[in-house]
Amino acid sequence: MIIVLKPNATKEQIEHVMEKTKKMGLEPWLSEGVERSIIAVKGEEDALRALPLEAFPGVERVVPILKPYKLASLDYKGEPSEIDIGRGVTIGGKKVVVMAGPCSVENREMILNTAEAVKKAGALVLRGGAFKPRTSPYSFQGLGEEGLKYLAEAGEKTGLLVITELMDVRNIEMFEKYVDIIQIGARNMQNFDLLKEVGKVRKPVVLKRGIANTIKEFLMSAEYILAGGNPDVILCERGIRTFEDFTRFTLDINAIPAIKSVSHLPIIVDPSHGTGRWGMVSAVSLAAIAAGADGLLVEVHPNPEDALSDGDQSLLPETFEDLMRKAARVAEAVGREV
């Protein structure tokens, strides 16, 4: 349920409404907007029906939320969220934020050089895997904490924010120390215990869609993080499994406008995993921007043929520069910027 407050509602009136709902055994969340504020109430709404909420001073109206994802719903805020990810960078506004870097952090020199290259091309965030979830247990699994240190150093030297994937709740404290944005990968989209713990963290979270999950399931996973107290959730469409085998996955462009029609959360796109083919990354990236994506997560490697993981879907730095030039033109055409 959403309690919409009047534009001139006082602090005392708001606190009175929140206290009343708490006494009913419910959990109120205050969201302060530019023009007016709202209170989202979690819990069994039957208890609220006994309260004449619309008669309370400062309350304009009460709106029930029928969707199972309450906090992720567009009804909750009424307008798209803009999430501050650090250093003045915001996702969800006019700017299309590009995150770029290698699939895996392979060594210090490689990640430093790649960071310089993607920074020069216009990326604002450095991506790179320190802990790598691989289909085969014999594949390269990442450098672990050493990789996190290299990422943090590269970010510090270039001014780029850093994003990397968290897989284990035991590493949360380590991630809080080294990274700016936590990524939850497709394999862990429904790892609810992990999502609950990330909900307690005060860092932005990029949540990737699972390879066989619906949009509703995707948003319900985001709800776990939001309900845990972390409002800074960024969704990432990275392709789903279909009968098509020409590409690694099928990137669901439909998901971008679909999610924006029902959720206030920003959504970015991973065209690298979505296609699995470096030659298709640029085209899909431009399509995603045209469809309304708030950002891109692109794999870039200085020497893809020798990459320890995902070399076949990684762009060379010069190819990434070309993509950024094209992305700027497409963004401008739809009233945004890169």
CB 13 within 8 A of CB 20: no
C-alpha distances out from residue 222 to 29, 85, 184, 263, Å: 16, 17, 10, 10
CATH superfamily, with its number, for domain 83-333: Aldolase class I (3.20.20.70)
Q: How far apart are CA 127 and CA 104, in angstroms?
A: 9
**Per-residue pLDDT tens over the stretch 227-274:** 898 999 999 999 999 999 999 999 999 999 999 999 999 999 999 999
- Average of per-residue pLDDT values in the chain: 93
Residue 63 has pLDDT above 90, yes or no: no
Strands (E), the chain: 2-5, 27-32, 37-42, 59-63, 83-86, 89-91, 97-101, 125-127, 161-165, 181-184, 205-208, 233-237, 267-269, 295-299
Question: Mean pLDDT over residues 36-60, rounded?
Answer: 80
* pLDDT number for residue 221: 98
Question: Mean pLDDT over residues 109-120, rounded?
Answer: 97
Q: How far apart are CA 291 and CA 288, in angstroms?
A: 5
**Per-residue pLDDT tens over the stretch 282-330:** 999 999 999 999 999 999 999 999 888 888 999 999 999 999 999 999 9
Of 44-48, 137-141, 302-306, which one has max mean pLDDT? 302-306
For the chain, percent of residues with pLDDT exceeding 70: 97
User: Model confidence at 48, in pLDDT bands (50, 70, 90)?
Assistant: low
Residue 3 has pLDDT above 70, yes or no: yes
User: Model confidence at 165, in pLDDT bands (50, 70, 90)?
Assistant: very high
Residue 135 has pLDDT above 80, yes or no: no
Choose among 312, 279, 314, 287: nearest CA to 300.
314
Q: Class assignment of domain 2-64? A: alpha beta
Give span(s): CATH 3.20.20.70, the chain. Answer: 83-333
* pLDDT number for residue 47: 65
Give span(s): CATH 3.30.70.1140, the chain. Answer: 2-64
User: Model confidence at 194, in pLDDT bands (50, 70, 90)?
Assistant: very high
**Per-residue pLDDT tens over the stretch 173-188:** 999 999 999 999 999 9
Residue 132 has pLDDT above 90, yes or no: no
Residue 113 has pLDDT above 90, yes or no: yes
Residue 44 has pLDDT above 90, yes or no: no
